Amino acid sequence: MLGLGVIQGLMVTARNALGTLRGDPRRDVNIAYPEMRAPIPESFRNFPFLVTDGTGVHDGLRCVACTMCEQECPPQCITIVMERDEKGKPAKKPKVFNIDISVCMGCGICAEVCPFDSIKMDKVYEVATTERFGSLVLTREDLAKTNTYFHQISPAEAAEVDGRLAEQKRVAEEKAKAAAAKAAAAAAAKAAAGGAAIA
Amino acid sequence: MNPSSFFLERFPVEARDFILSFLPEALRPWAAALISVVAILAAFGLFFAFLTLLERKSLAWVQNRPGPNRTGPWGLLQPFSDAIKMVTKEDIVPAAADKLLHYLAPVVLVAFSLLTFAVLPYGRHLVALDLDAGVLFFFAAGAGTELAIFMAGWSSRNKYALIAAMRALAQLISYELPLLLSFVPVILATGSLRPVAIVEAQGSWTWGVLPHWNVFTPWGAAGFLLFLVAALSESNRSPFDLPEAESELIAGHLTEYSGFKYALFFMAEYFGMTALAGLGVTLFLGGWQAPCEILQWVPSYAWFGMKLLSVIVLFMWVRGTTPRLRMDQLMRLAWKFLSPLALFNLGAAIVWLVTAQWQFPGALALRWVLASSIVVIPFLVIGRSLSRGLSTRTYGFAP
């Protein structure tokens, strides 16, 4: 009958309105953003940061300023200057490490190529600033974040990285020990040979 | 126990008389009129402010959103922040516009919409202007708003505004006919054009609980439905909001308006809707009368307010539900459907009134059947003939 469709429609909207008012989870699907936040998926990423094993910039930055990320970065947003001591000898530390996040496209290639697991992708999405140029260039101080923080934002990857680093360290130590033992043995052999020669 | 002597019932009148007692005798009629004007402006100004909030809130609920909730608790300060925004906006007048008419149009529109509030009885003792031909006055003043809309469209010197104003005029004039015809049975039954008398005629109850409102008669029910549709269209509300159609047309006759003038147009639109809903309440829903006899201790203006609010909430509910009509559908609905039905409804009212003397058992039921069949059968026949050849639309691309 003519007009029934309007009444049916009114019933649909009434159900929606009352459901929203009652807070029915099927109707009221909103997340009131600043107070409530949607959970971030494990694989979410936006801008890179630098992992430190210590607490700040000057101790324990994993980065050795190899500039691999700088070379690989597709939009060329990373600037690295290596630190040198008075004699001009490289100190295996970055003096300048800047990322211009107004240029960064969040591809994550820097994190992939880093051989020292030093640069990783962050999950901070509130990066708005009141000024266009200076504030969007993140310096070494802004980028350095602790390994604990990395564990917080992506626990699975951080655990994997830690395991790998520990393994590398163990292998390196064993190698060093073996090398030292070999050197000692060689020295001992040399000493013995020398003694024989004398004798 | 006479409800008209209750304190709350008499309070507005007492307050007015108290203020008047400080003034010299000669000034009193003027001051009384001024107080009525100020009271209507203040009450309906605030009502308008919170209606905009309620509209946004209720539309939001329908669309599963929370609506404005940042300004104050429950978004209650939103109307005031909107007002500040509107007032501080730049008021642009096109260089080629007719400056005077462009300036006058919103003012005239608001003035005419406010005039219609004068004749509505808000309570037992609350009517600003008790005219013998109040209903006539209401529509005469309401017709002035059409002039203002055309002023706005014409003076903007903008082809879109002009075309939209023509379109709005066509709609408003077309729907004036069913709107007026839907009210005629009430006037026929009451024998008066005076709103106060029409409300008083509805002020009795069967067994103290069944109110004798006009909506509870066959012609009243049909007339109220016709009134609802026509009033939606007269107040430019969805699904008949073609004059403005914010989502598809440019803003219609408001194209060249900005800032406070634009706000005035909106204010006038809400005033018009409130006044029409108030007239509908007065003529069909018993005005300020209580729904049952024992509830008469509630002040009459509170009943009027509640009924007014429920009609307006119904309007908002419809706005949240229906899609907009096309122009030809709009015209067809007015001329081929609503107007004939309103005429048939007049016939139903005549049958109902002529058979009022019947006393035999079952007379009431027979009268109901007779009178309602005069409206319902044409409704079915016209409805079927108008929708002949139309079927549920199948979409080629969407499932």
ipTM: 0.83
**Partners of residue A24 in chain B, C-beta under 8 Å:** none
B61/A16 touch (CB, cutoff 8 Å), yes or no: yes
Facing B62 at nearest CB: one of A1, A13, A28: A13
Is residue A193 over pLDDT 90? no
Kindly state whether A20 is in contact with chain B, defined as any CB-CB distance less than 8 angstroms.
yes
Kindly state whether A11 is in contact with chain B, defined as any CB-CB distance less than 8 angstroms.
no
Helices (H), chain B: 7-20, 28-62, 78-88, 99-115, 134-155, 159-190, 195-201, 218-234, 259-284, 300-321, 327-332, 339-354, 363-386
Q: What is the mean pLDDT of residues B210-238?
A: 91
Q: Is the model's pTM score more than 0.90?
A: no
State residue B397's pLDDT score: 72
B253-263 in b/e burial notation, b at 16+ Cβ within 10 A?
A: bbbbbbeebbb
Q: How many CB atoms lie within 10 A of CB A13?
A: 20
State residue B241's pLDDT score: 86
State residue A59's pLDDT score: 74
Is residue B398 over pLDDT 80? no
**Partners of residue A19 in chain B, C-beta under 8 Å:** 64
Question: A48-52 and A144-146: which strand pairing?
Answer: parallel
Q: 């300004």: which residue's tokens?
A: B71
> A42 to chain B, minimum CA–CA distance in Å?
28
Average pLDDT, rounded, for chain B: 89
Helices (H), A42-154: 68-72, 109-113, 140-143, 147-153
Are B279 and B121 contacting, i.e. CB atoms less than 8 angstroms apart? Answer: no
**Partners of residue A32 in chain B, C-beta under 8 Å:** 66, 69
Are B202 and B212 contacting, i.e. CB atoms less than 8 angstroms apart? Answer: yes
For residue A9, the chain B residue with the least C-alpha distance is B321
Facing A17 at nearest CB: one of B58, B379, B384: B58
Residue A146 in 3-state DSSP? strand
Is residue B304 over pLDDT 90? yes
Kindly state whether A4 is in contact with chain B, defined as any CB-CB distance less than 8 angstroms.
no
Q: 């107040």: which residue's tokens?
A: B235
Query: How confident is the model over B91-145, as pLDDT tens digits?
Result: 889 999 999 999 999 999 999 999 999 999 998 888 888 889 999 999 999 888 8
Query: How confident is the model over A105-137, as pLDDT tens digits?
Result: 999 999 999 998 999 999 998 888 898 888 899
Element containing residue A90 per DSSP (H, E)? strand A90-100
